[in-house]
Chains A and B, each alone.
Chain A
Protein backbone atom coordinates (compact mmCIF):
# COMPACT_ATOMS: atom_id res chain seq x y z
CA UNK A 1 0.00 0.00 0.00
CA UNK A 2 1.40 3.41 -0.89
CA UNK A 3 1.13 6.50 1.31
CA UNK A 4 -2.04 7.70 -0.47
CA UNK A 5 -3.85 4.44 0.18
CA UNK A 6 -2.69 4.46 3.80
CA UNK A 7 -3.89 8.05 4.13
CA UNK A 8 -7.33 6.93 2.96
CA UNK A 9 -7.42 3.83 5.15
CA UNK A 10 -5.97 5.18 8.37
CA UNK A 11 -8.50 7.93 8.96
CA UNK A 12 -11.49 5.66 8.85
CA UNK A 13 -14.39 5.45 6.44
CA UNK A 14 -16.12 8.55 5.18
CA UNK A 15 -18.51 10.06 7.71
CA UNK A 16 -22.14 10.10 6.66
CA UNK A 17 -24.13 13.23 7.43
CA UNK A 18 -27.15 12.77 9.66
CA UNK A 19 -30.49 12.97 7.92
CA UNK A 20 -31.35 16.12 9.87
CA UNK A 21 -28.11 17.80 8.75
CA UNK A 22 -28.80 16.87 5.14
CA UNK A 23 -32.38 18.13 5.38
CA UNK A 24 -31.27 21.36 6.96
CA UNK A 25 -28.69 22.01 4.26
CA UNK A 26 -31.08 21.06 1.46
CA UNK A 27 -33.81 23.33 2.73
CA UNK A 28 -31.39 26.20 3.24
CA UNK A 29 -30.43 25.77 -0.41
CA UNK A 30 -34.05 25.60 -1.57
CA UNK A 31 -34.85 28.65 0.45
CA UNK A 32 -32.03 30.47 -1.32
CA UNK A 33 -33.02 29.07 -4.71
CA UNK A 34 -36.76 29.52 -4.49
CA UNK A 35 -37.45 32.08 -1.76
CA UNK A 36 -40.98 32.78 -2.96
CA UNK A 37 -42.00 29.15 -2.85
CA UNK A 38 -40.54 28.70 0.60
CA UNK A 39 -42.50 31.65 1.99
CA UNK A 40 -45.71 30.91 3.76
CA UNK A 41 -48.68 30.62 1.47
CA UNK A 42 -52.25 30.19 2.68
CA UNK A 43 -52.00 26.49 3.42
CA UNK A 44 -48.75 27.01 5.30
CA UNK A 45 -49.84 30.15 7.05
CA UNK A 46 -52.44 28.27 9.03
CA UNK A 47 -49.59 26.39 10.66
CA UNK A 48 -47.63 29.53 11.40
CA UNK A 49 -47.94 29.47 15.20
CA UNK A 50 -46.60 25.94 15.19
CA UNK A 51 -43.62 27.00 13.05
CA UNK A 52 -42.79 29.88 15.31
CA UNK A 53 -42.87 27.68 18.37
CA UNK A 54 -40.67 25.15 16.74
CA UNK A 55 -38.13 27.72 15.68
CA UNK A 56 -37.19 28.35 19.27
CA UNK A 57 -37.13 24.67 20.09
CA UNK A 58 -34.99 23.80 17.12
CA UNK A 59 -32.68 26.73 17.74
CA UNK A 60 -32.14 25.38 21.23
CA UNK A 61 -31.42 21.96 19.84
CA UNK A 62 -29.00 23.41 17.32
CA UNK A 63 -26.92 24.97 20.04
CA UNK A 64 -26.31 21.68 21.74
CA UNK A 65 -25.66 20.01 18.44
CA UNK A 66 -28.72 17.80 18.33
CA UNK A 67 -30.92 19.22 15.66
CA UNK A 68 -34.48 18.16 15.31
CA UNK A 69 -36.04 18.92 11.99
CA UNK A 70 -39.76 18.86 11.53
CA UNK A 71 -39.77 16.87 8.36
CA UNK A 72 -42.12 14.15 9.37
CA UNK A 73 -45.01 15.73 7.57
CA UNK A 74 -45.05 17.95 4.58
CA UNK A 75 -47.64 20.60 3.91
CA UNK A 76 -49.27 20.08 0.60
CA UNK A 77 -50.24 23.12 -1.36
CA UNK A 78 -53.53 23.09 -3.25
CA UNK A 79 -52.90 21.56 -6.62
CA UNK A 80 -49.54 20.11 -5.66
CA UNK A 81 -48.65 16.49 -5.49
CA UNK A 82 -46.84 15.16 -2.46
CA UNK A 83 -43.60 14.97 -4.39
CA UNK A 84 -43.76 18.68 -5.14
CA UNK A 85 -44.78 19.88 -1.71
CA UNK A 86 -42.27 21.48 0.60
CA UNK A 87 -41.54 20.28 4.09
CA UNK A 88 -42.35 22.76 6.84
CA UNK A 89 -39.09 22.96 8.65
CA UNK A 90 -37.70 25.28 11.26
CA UNK A 91 -34.06 25.29 10.32
CA UNK A 92 -31.32 27.75 11.04
CA UNK A 93 -28.80 28.83 8.43
CA UNK A 94 -25.92 28.08 10.81
CA UNK A 95 -26.07 25.24 13.29
CA UNK A 96 -22.91 26.41 15.01
CA UNK A 97 -22.45 30.11 14.31
CA UNK A 98 -18.77 30.88 14.72
CA UNK A 99 -18.77 34.57 13.88
CA UNK A 100 -20.84 37.69 14.45
CA UNK A 101 -22.00 37.54 10.83
CA UNK A 102 -23.23 33.98 11.14
CA UNK A 103 -24.89 34.67 14.47
CA UNK A 104 -26.68 37.73 13.07
CA UNK A 105 -27.86 35.69 10.09
CA UNK A 106 -29.45 33.21 12.50
CA UNK A 107 -31.00 36.13 14.41
CA UNK A 108 -32.30 37.61 11.14
CA UNK A 109 -33.65 34.26 10.07
CA UNK A 110 -35.46 33.84 13.38
CA UNK A 111 -36.77 37.41 13.40
CA UNK A 112 -38.13 37.09 9.87
CA UNK A 113 -40.37 34.26 10.98
CA UNK A 114 -42.22 36.06 13.72
CA UNK A 115 -45.96 36.39 13.30
CA UNK A 116 -46.99 39.91 12.35
CA UNK A 117 -49.95 42.03 11.44
CA UNK A 118 -49.36 45.49 10.02
CA UNK A 119 -50.41 48.01 12.68
CA UNK A 120 -52.96 50.76 12.09
CA UNK A 121 -51.78 54.39 12.42
CA UNK A 122 -53.85 54.76 15.60
CA UNK A 123 -52.28 51.76 17.33
CA UNK A 124 -49.31 51.93 19.69
CA UNK A 125 -45.89 50.37 19.91
CA UNK A 126 -45.54 49.10 23.46
CA UNK A 127 -41.98 48.65 24.69
CA UNK A 128 -41.24 47.36 28.17
CA UNK A 129 -37.79 46.84 29.60
CA UNK A 130 -35.93 46.38 32.84
CA UNK A 131 -33.02 48.69 33.30
CA UNK A 132 -30.26 48.11 35.82
CA UNK A 133 -29.54 51.40 37.61
CA UNK A 134 -27.49 52.53 40.56
CA UNK A 135 -29.26 53.46 43.77
CA UNK A 136 -30.79 56.95 43.73
CA UNK A 137 -28.11 58.27 46.09
CA UNK A 138 -25.34 56.98 43.84
CA UNK A 139 -27.04 58.34 40.73
CA UNK A 140 -27.18 61.80 42.29
CA UNK A 141 -23.50 61.70 43.15
CA UNK A 142 -22.31 60.31 39.79
CA UNK A 143 -25.11 60.29 37.22
CA UNK A 144 -22.85 59.00 34.44
CA UNK A 145 -20.83 56.56 36.50
CA UNK A 146 -20.64 52.83 35.99
CA UNK A 147 -23.04 50.44 37.70
CA UNK A 148 -21.73 49.49 41.12
CA UNK A 149 -22.22 45.80 41.92
CA UNK A 150 -24.35 45.36 45.01
CA UNK A 151 -25.68 48.91 44.82
CA UNK A 152 -28.04 48.61 41.90
CA UNK A 153 -31.78 48.43 41.47
CA UNK A 154 -33.93 47.20 38.61
CA UNK A 155 -36.22 49.83 37.12
CA UNK A 156 -39.16 48.78 34.98
CA UNK A 157 -39.59 51.10 31.99
CA UNK A 158 -42.84 51.18 29.98
CA UNK A 159 -43.40 53.28 26.86
CA UNK A 160 -46.23 53.60 24.38
CA UNK A 161 -45.71 55.41 21.07
CA UNK A 162 -48.49 55.82 18.56
CA UNK A 163 -47.64 54.56 15.09
CA UNK A 164 -48.39 57.95 13.53
CA UNK A 165 -45.97 59.60 16.00
CA UNK A 166 -48.60 61.97 17.41
CA UNK A 167 -49.02 60.50 20.91
CA UNK A 168 -46.52 59.17 23.41
CA UNK A 169 -47.09 57.76 26.87
CA UNK A 170 -45.02 56.36 29.72
CA UNK A 171 -45.52 55.02 33.20
CA UNK A 172 -44.15 57.32 35.89
CA UNK A 173 -44.31 56.07 39.49
CA UNK A 174 -47.26 53.85 38.65
CA UNK A 175 -49.17 56.57 36.82
CA UNK A 176 -49.76 56.68 33.08
CA UNK A 177 -48.60 60.00 31.60
CA UNK A 178 -49.87 60.69 28.08
CA UNK A 179 -48.59 63.48 25.85
CA UNK A 180 -49.90 64.72 22.53
CA UNK A 181 -47.61 66.19 19.93
CA UNK A 182 -47.51 69.98 20.23
CA UNK A 183 -49.52 70.24 23.48
CA UNK A 184 -47.12 70.10 26.42
CA UNK A 185 -44.27 68.50 24.52
CA UNK A 186 -43.03 68.28 20.98
CA UNK A 187 -40.71 65.64 19.69
CA UNK A 188 -39.17 64.46 16.45
CA UNK A 189 -39.70 60.90 15.32
CA UNK A 190 -38.89 58.58 12.47
CA UNK A 191 -42.02 58.04 10.34
CA UNK A 192 -43.10 54.45 10.78
CA UNK A 193 -43.93 54.16 7.08
CA UNK A 194 -40.28 54.94 6.27
CA UNK A 195 -39.07 52.18 8.58
CA UNK A 196 -41.58 49.68 7.21
CA UNK A 197 -39.96 49.97 3.80
CA UNK A 198 -36.51 48.92 5.02
CA UNK A 199 -36.92 45.29 4.10
CA UNK A 200 -33.39 44.58 2.85
CA UNK A 201 -30.00 45.32 4.40
CA UNK A 202 -29.13 47.47 1.38
CA UNK A 203 -32.20 49.65 1.97
CA UNK A 204 -31.35 49.89 5.67
CA UNK A 205 -27.77 50.99 4.99
CA UNK A 206 -28.83 53.51 2.34
CA UNK A 207 -31.45 54.93 4.71
CA UNK A 208 -28.94 55.10 7.56
CA UNK A 209 -26.58 57.19 5.41
CA UNK A 210 -29.28 59.48 4.00
CA UNK A 211 -29.77 62.88 5.68
CA UNK A 212 -32.60 62.86 8.23
CA UNK A 213 -34.15 65.07 10.90
CA UNK A 214 -33.31 62.49 13.56
CA UNK A 215 -29.97 60.87 14.31
CA UNK A 216 -30.49 57.12 14.41
CA UNK A 217 -28.36 54.19 15.52
CA UNK A 218 -29.50 50.94 13.96
CA UNK A 219 -29.19 49.00 17.20
CA UNK A 220 -31.21 51.67 19.02
CA UNK A 221 -34.05 51.29 16.51
CA UNK A 222 -34.42 47.68 17.59
CA UNK A 223 -34.82 48.71 21.20
CA UNK A 224 -37.20 51.59 20.63
CA UNK A 225 -39.54 50.46 17.86
CA UNK A 226 -41.79 47.48 17.28
CA UNK A 227 -40.73 46.67 13.75
CA UNK A 228 -42.08 44.32 11.09
CA UNK A 229 -40.19 41.00 11.01
CA UNK A 230 -38.67 41.71 7.59
CA UNK A 231 -37.34 45.06 8.80
CA UNK A 232 -35.90 43.59 11.98
CA UNK A 233 -34.19 40.87 9.92
CA UNK A 234 -32.86 43.46 7.46
CA UNK A 235 -31.41 45.51 10.33
CA UNK A 236 -29.61 42.46 11.74
CA UNK A 237 -28.16 41.77 8.29
CA UNK A 238 -27.20 45.43 7.87
CA UNK A 239 -25.38 45.37 11.21
CA UNK A 240 -23.59 42.22 10.06
CA UNK A 241 -22.34 44.05 6.98
CA UNK A 242 -20.76 46.72 9.15
CA UNK A 243 -17.13 46.38 10.14
CA UNK A 244 -15.93 45.55 13.59
CA UNK A 245 -18.90 43.67 15.03
CA UNK A 246 -17.53 41.19 17.56
CA UNK A 247 -19.12 38.08 18.96
CA UNK A 248 -18.88 37.50 22.69
CA UNK A 249 -20.40 34.09 23.36
CA UNK A 250 -19.97 34.33 27.14
CA UNK A 251 -21.88 37.47 28.05
CA UNK A 252 -24.39 37.29 30.86
CA UNK A 253 -27.84 38.72 31.00
CA UNK A 254 -29.13 41.11 33.67
CA UNK A 255 -30.22 38.23 35.89
CA UNK A 256 -27.15 36.11 35.32
CA UNK A 257 -28.57 33.96 32.53
CA UNK A 258 -26.16 33.17 29.68
CA UNK A 259 -26.46 35.41 26.66
CA UNK A 260 -24.55 36.12 23.49
CA UNK A 261 -23.38 39.68 22.95
CA UNK A 262 -22.62 41.32 19.63
CA UNK A 263 -20.52 44.38 20.25
CA UNK A 264 -19.29 47.44 18.43
CA UNK A 265 -16.33 49.29 19.88
CA UNK A 266 -16.96 52.99 20.39
CA UNK A 267 -14.46 55.62 21.46
CA UNK A 268 -11.82 52.92 21.63
CA UNK A 269 -12.68 51.67 25.11
CA UNK A 270 -16.42 51.02 25.19
CA UNK A 271 -18.39 48.20 23.68
CA UNK A 272 -22.00 48.87 22.72
CA UNK A 273 -23.53 45.42 22.81
CA UNK A 274 -26.76 43.82 21.72
CA UNK A 275 -27.66 40.86 23.91
CA UNK A 276 -29.26 37.79 22.39
CA UNK A 277 -30.82 34.75 23.92
CA UNK A 278 -28.23 32.04 23.50
CA UNK A 279 -30.77 29.45 22.50
CA UNK A 280 -33.46 31.22 20.49
CA UNK A 281 -31.40 33.97 18.80
CA UNK A 282 -33.94 36.58 19.87
CA UNK A 283 -32.79 40.04 20.90
CA UNK A 284 -33.24 40.35 24.66
CA UNK A 285 -31.39 43.49 25.62
CA UNK A 286 -28.40 45.78 25.36
CA UNK A 287 -25.52 46.96 27.45
CA UNK A 288 -22.60 49.36 27.35
CA UNK A 289 -19.42 47.99 28.87
CA UNK A 290 -15.81 49.20 29.10
CA UNK A 291 -13.42 46.87 27.31
CA UNK A 292 -10.24 48.71 28.34
CA UNK A 293 -9.02 50.92 31.14
CA UNK A 294 -9.54 54.58 30.30
CA UNK A 295 -9.19 58.04 31.81
CA UNK A 296 -11.74 60.72 30.99
CA UNK A 297 -10.20 64.11 31.61
CA UNK A 298 -12.86 66.76 32.02
CA UNK A 299 -13.18 70.28 33.43
CA UNK A 300 -14.92 68.89 36.48
CA UNK A 301 -12.32 66.25 37.21
CA UNK A 302 -10.70 63.14 35.88
CA UNK A 303 -12.67 59.89 35.87
CA UNK A 304 -10.89 56.56 35.77
CA UNK A 305 -12.78 53.82 34.02
CA UNK A 306 -11.80 50.23 34.51
CA UNK A 307 -12.11 47.45 32.02
CA UNK A 308 -15.31 45.55 32.78
CA UNK A 309 -17.23 48.55 34.10
CA UNK A 310 -20.83 48.34 32.93
CA UNK A 311 -22.53 51.64 32.17
CA UNK A 312 -25.88 50.48 30.91
CA UNK A 313 -27.69 47.19 31.00
CA UNK A 314 -31.24 46.81 29.75
CA UNK A 315 -33.35 43.72 29.24
CA UNK A 316 -36.28 43.93 26.84
CA UNK A 317 -39.29 42.30 28.45
CA UNK A 318 -42.09 43.15 26.01
CA UNK A 319 -42.36 44.51 22.49
CA UNK A 320 -45.73 44.46 20.81
CA UNK A 321 -48.46 46.43 19.11
CA UNK A 322 -51.38 47.41 21.36
CA UNK A 323 -54.53 49.49 20.92
CA UNK A 324 -54.10 52.22 23.53
CA UNK A 325 -51.69 53.56 26.15
CA UNK A 326 -51.77 51.42 29.27
CA UNK A 327 -52.42 48.22 27.29
CA UNK A 328 -49.69 45.66 27.70
CA UNK A 329 -51.23 42.84 25.63
Chain B
Protein backbone atom coordinates (compact mmCIF):
# COMPACT_ATOMS: atom_id res chain seq x y z
CA UNK B 1 0.00 0.00 0.00
CA UNK B 2 1.26 3.48 -0.83
CA UNK B 3 1.24 5.93 2.03
CA UNK B 4 1.22 9.38 0.53
CA UNK B 5 0.68 11.60 3.53
CA UNK B 6 3.46 12.37 5.96
CA UNK B 7 0.98 12.78 8.83
CA UNK B 8 -0.16 9.18 8.55
CA UNK B 9 2.30 6.81 10.17
CA UNK B 10 2.53 3.63 8.15
CA UNK B 11 1.94 1.59 11.30
CA UNK B 12 -1.66 2.80 11.46
CA UNK B 13 -3.96 0.63 9.44
CA UNK B 14 -6.96 1.96 7.58
CA UNK B 15 -9.14 0.32 10.22
CA UNK B 16 -7.26 2.28 12.92
CA UNK B 17 -7.93 5.54 11.10
CA UNK B 18 -11.61 4.76 10.64
CA UNK B 19 -11.89 3.88 14.30
CA UNK B 20 -10.13 7.11 15.29
CA UNK B 21 -12.55 9.00 13.03
CA UNK B 22 -15.45 7.88 15.21
CA UNK B 23 -13.99 10.07 17.97
CA UNK B 24 -12.20 12.68 15.84
CA UNK B 25 -13.99 12.84 12.47
CA UNK B 26 -11.20 14.84 10.85
CA UNK B 27 -8.99 11.73 11.06
CA UNK B 28 -10.92 10.47 8.09
CA UNK B 29 -8.92 12.92 6.02
CA UNK B 30 -5.90 10.69 6.60
CA UNK B 31 -7.72 7.85 4.87
CA UNK B 32 -8.51 10.26 2.05
CA UNK B 33 -4.85 11.24 1.73
CA UNK B 34 -3.90 7.60 1.52
CA UNK B 35 -6.35 6.44 -1.11
CA UNK B 36 -7.91 9.36 -2.99
CA UNK B 37 -5.43 9.34 -5.87
CA UNK B 38 -5.94 5.63 -6.51
CA UNK B 39 -9.72 5.79 -6.37
CA UNK B 40 -9.62 8.74 -8.75
CA UNK B 41 -7.29 6.92 -11.14
CA UNK B 42 -9.54 3.86 -11.17
CA UNK B 43 -12.66 5.93 -11.85
CA UNK B 44 -10.81 7.92 -14.52
CA UNK B 45 -9.88 4.76 -16.39
CA UNK B 46 -13.50 3.65 -16.41
CA UNK B 47 -15.28 6.97 -16.90
CA UNK B 48 -12.76 9.60 -17.94
CA UNK B 49 -11.31 12.35 -15.80
CA UNK B 50 -14.36 14.65 -15.56
CA UNK B 51 -16.68 12.11 -13.98
CA UNK B 52 -13.81 10.63 -11.99
CA UNK B 53 -13.58 13.83 -9.96
CA UNK B 54 -17.13 13.49 -8.73
CA UNK B 55 -16.99 9.74 -8.24
CA UNK B 56 -13.78 9.90 -6.21
CA UNK B 57 -15.04 12.78 -4.11
CA UNK B 58 -18.38 11.16 -3.44
CA UNK B 59 -16.73 7.84 -2.59
CA UNK B 60 -15.13 9.41 0.46
CA UNK B 61 -18.26 11.31 1.48
CA UNK B 62 -20.26 8.08 1.41
CA UNK B 63 -17.49 6.20 3.18
CA UNK B 64 -17.44 8.84 5.89
CA UNK B 65 -21.19 8.57 6.36
CA UNK B 66 -20.91 4.77 6.63
CA UNK B 67 -17.81 4.66 8.80
CA UNK B 68 -19.72 3.31 11.80
CA UNK B 69 -20.50 0.13 9.87
CA UNK B 70 -16.90 -0.57 8.84
CA UNK B 71 -15.64 -4.00 9.84
CA UNK B 72 -12.71 -3.20 12.14
CA UNK B 73 -11.37 -6.69 11.46
CA UNK B 74 -10.34 -5.59 7.97
CA UNK B 75 -7.15 -3.52 8.26
CA UNK B 76 -7.10 -2.57 4.57
CA UNK B 77 -10.03 -0.34 3.53
CA UNK B 78 -9.33 -0.53 -0.20
CA UNK B 79 -11.95 -3.21 -0.97
CA UNK B 80 -14.53 -1.16 0.94
CA UNK B 81 -13.63 2.06 -0.88
CA UNK B 82 -13.45 0.43 -4.30
CA UNK B 83 -16.81 -1.21 -3.61
CA UNK B 84 -18.39 2.20 -2.97
CA UNK B 85 -16.68 3.58 -6.07
CA UNK B 86 -17.93 0.64 -8.15
CA UNK B 87 -21.51 1.38 -7.14
CA UNK B 88 -21.06 5.03 -8.08
CA UNK B 89 -19.48 4.09 -11.41
CA UNK B 90 -22.48 1.84 -12.12
CA UNK B 91 -24.66 4.96 -12.09
CA UNK B 92 -22.72 6.18 -15.09
CA UNK B 93 -23.14 3.02 -17.14
CA UNK B 94 -23.87 4.88 -20.35
CA UNK B 95 -20.85 7.13 -19.97
CA UNK B 96 -18.64 4.11 -19.42
CA UNK B 97 -20.02 2.38 -22.51
CA UNK B 98 -19.52 5.54 -24.58
CA UNK B 99 -15.97 5.72 -23.36
CA UNK B 100 -15.14 2.16 -24.45
CA UNK B 101 -16.84 2.76 -27.78
CA UNK B 102 -14.74 5.86 -28.33
CA UNK B 103 -11.56 4.07 -27.30
CA UNK B 104 -12.38 1.22 -29.65
CA UNK B 105 -12.78 3.68 -32.54
CA UNK B 106 -9.72 5.68 -31.67
CA UNK B 107 -6.68 5.29 -33.87
CA UNK B 108 -3.90 3.50 -32.11
CA UNK B 109 -1.68 6.57 -31.99
CA UNK B 110 -4.27 8.90 -30.49
CA UNK B 111 -3.84 9.84 -26.85
CA UNK B 112 -5.94 8.58 -23.97
CA UNK B 113 -6.78 11.49 -21.70
CA UNK B 114 -3.53 13.20 -22.52
CA UNK B 115 -1.28 10.23 -21.85
CA UNK B 116 -0.13 10.23 -25.41
CA UNK B 117 3.43 9.46 -24.50
CA UNK B 118 2.47 5.95 -23.50
CA UNK B 119 0.57 5.00 -26.58
CA UNK B 120 2.21 7.16 -29.24
CA UNK B 121 4.20 5.00 -31.52
CA UNK B 122 3.22 1.83 -29.67
CA UNK B 123 0.97 0.35 -32.28
CA UNK B 124 0.68 -2.95 -30.48
CA UNK B 125 -0.63 -1.27 -27.37
CA UNK B 126 -3.04 0.77 -29.45
CA UNK B 127 -4.41 -2.24 -31.27
CA UNK B 128 -4.76 -4.13 -28.02
CA UNK B 129 -6.53 -1.18 -26.44
CA UNK B 130 -9.07 -1.01 -29.24
CA UNK B 131 -9.85 -4.69 -29.05
CA UNK B 132 -10.02 -4.72 -25.26
CA UNK B 133 -12.23 -1.62 -25.24
CA UNK B 134 -14.65 -3.34 -27.59
CA UNK B 135 -14.64 -6.43 -25.38
CA UNK B 136 -15.12 -4.36 -22.20
CA UNK B 137 -18.06 -2.59 -23.79
CA UNK B 138 -19.74 -5.94 -24.46
CA UNK B 139 -18.91 -7.50 -21.11
CA UNK B 140 -21.75 -7.69 -18.56
CA UNK B 141 -21.22 -5.09 -15.85
CA UNK B 142 -20.96 -7.69 -13.08
CA UNK B 143 -18.06 -9.38 -14.85
CA UNK B 144 -16.46 -6.09 -15.82
CA UNK B 145 -16.49 -4.94 -12.20
CA UNK B 146 -14.55 -7.97 -10.99
CA UNK B 147 -12.14 -7.90 -13.90
CA UNK B 148 -11.26 -4.23 -13.57
CA UNK B 149 -11.01 -4.28 -9.79
CA UNK B 150 -8.33 -6.92 -10.23
CA UNK B 151 -6.64 -5.52 -13.35
CA UNK B 152 -6.87 -1.77 -12.71
CA UNK B 153 -7.46 -1.37 -8.98
CA UNK B 154 -4.94 -4.04 -8.09
CA UNK B 155 -7.26 -5.96 -5.77
CA UNK B 156 -6.94 -9.70 -5.35
CA UNK B 157 -9.82 -11.90 -6.45
CA UNK B 158 -10.78 -12.32 -2.79
CA UNK B 159 -10.67 -8.55 -2.19
CA UNK B 160 -12.78 -7.93 -5.28
CA UNK B 161 -15.39 -10.29 -3.84
CA UNK B 162 -15.39 -8.30 -0.59
CA UNK B 163 -15.60 -5.03 -2.51
CA UNK B 164 -18.63 -6.15 -4.49
CA UNK B 165 -20.16 -8.05 -1.58
CA UNK B 166 -20.39 -11.28 -3.53
CA UNK B 167 -19.27 -14.82 -2.64
CA UNK B 168 -15.66 -15.64 -3.48
CA UNK B 169 -16.79 -18.40 -5.84
CA UNK B 170 -18.95 -15.97 -7.79
CA UNK B 171 -16.06 -13.56 -8.12
CA UNK B 172 -13.83 -16.38 -9.31
CA UNK B 173 -16.22 -17.54 -12.02
CA UNK B 174 -16.95 -13.98 -13.17
CA UNK B 175 -13.25 -13.23 -13.37
CA UNK B 176 -12.65 -16.45 -15.26
CA UNK B 177 -15.29 -15.61 -17.87
CA UNK B 178 -14.11 -12.03 -18.20
CA UNK B 179 -10.49 -13.06 -18.68
CA UNK B 180 -11.57 -15.54 -21.30
CA UNK B 181 -13.35 -12.73 -23.18
CA UNK B 182 -10.23 -10.60 -23.01
CA UNK B 183 -8.08 -13.43 -24.34
CA UNK B 184 -10.54 -14.03 -27.16
CA UNK B 185 -10.51 -10.32 -28.01
CA UNK B 186 -6.73 -10.23 -28.10
CA UNK B 187 -6.58 -13.36 -30.16
CA UNK B 188 -8.84 -11.93 -32.87
CA UNK B 189 -7.38 -11.16 -36.29
CA UNK B 190 -5.52 -7.95 -36.88
CA UNK B 191 -7.29 -6.97 -40.11
CA UNK B 192 -8.81 -3.52 -39.91
CA UNK B 193 -7.30 -2.66 -36.59
CA UNK B 194 -5.00 0.01 -37.88
A residues adjacent to B (C-beta < 8 A): 3-4, 6-17, 21-22, 24-26, 28-30, 32-34, 37, 65, 93-96, 98, 102
Contact = CB atoms under 8 A, between A and B. Distances in A.
Contacts of A8: 151-152
Contact of B118 (A3, A13, A102): A13
B179 interface: yes
Contact of B113 (A7, A15, A93, A94): A15
Given A12-B115, A29-B60, A17 B54 contact: no
Given A3-B182, A95-B53, A96-B54, A15 B29 contact: no
B53 A25 contact: yes
A26 B52 contact: no
A29 B41 contact: no
A26 B32 contact: yes
Contacts of B8: none
Interface string B36-55: 11101110110001111110
Interface stretch (B76-84, B124-132, B164-172): B124-132
A220 to B, nearest CB: 31
B37 A11 contact: no
B113 A25 contact: no
B37 A12 contact: no
Contacts of B33: 26
B26 A30 contact: yes
A33 B112 contact: no
Interface in B78-104: 92, 103
A61 to B, nearest CB: 13
A3 B179 contact: yes
For the complex of A and B, list the 9 residue pairs with the smallest distance between their C-beta atoms, beginning with the closest: A14-B41, A25-B57, A33-B25, A12-B115, A15-B44, A10-B129, A3-B182, A10-B128, A17-B40
Nearest to B108: A10
Contacts, number: 119
Contacts of B103: 11
Contacts of A7: 132, 147, 151-152, 182
Contacts of B128: 6, 9-10
Contact of B29 (A10, A13, A30): A30
A12 B109 CA distance: 12
Contacts of A13: 115, 118
Contacts of B112: 11-12
A33 B21 CA distance: 9
Counting chain B residues whose Cβ lies within 8 A of the other chain, the interface size class is: 35 or more
Interface of B: 21, 25-26, 28-29, 32-33, 36-38, 40-42, 44-45, 49-54, 56-57, 60-61, 64-65, 92, 103, 112-113, 115, 118-119, 125-126, 128-129, 132, 147, 150-152, 179, 182-183, 186
Contact of B61 (A10, A32, A34): A32
Nearest to B45: A11
19 contacts: A3-B186, A4-B182, A6-B132, A7-B132, A9-B125, A9-B128, A11-B112, A15-B49, A16-B37, A17-B40, A17-B52, A17-B56, A25-B60, A26-B32, A32-B61, A65-B50, A93-B57, A95-B54, A96-B54
A93 B58 CA distance: 9
B18 to A, nearest CB: 12
A29 to B, nearest CB: 5
Contact of B57 (A4, A10, A28): A28
Given A10-B125, A33-B21, A33-B26, A15 B151 contact: no
Contacts of B118: 12-13
Contacts of B21: 33
Given A12-B113, A21-B57, 12 more contacts: A3-B183, A4-B150, A6-B132, A8-B152, A10-B126, A10-B128, A12-B115, A22-B36, A22-B37, A26-B29, A32-B64, A65-B50
A82 B92 CA distance: 40
A8 B42 CA distance: 11
B129 A11 contact: yes
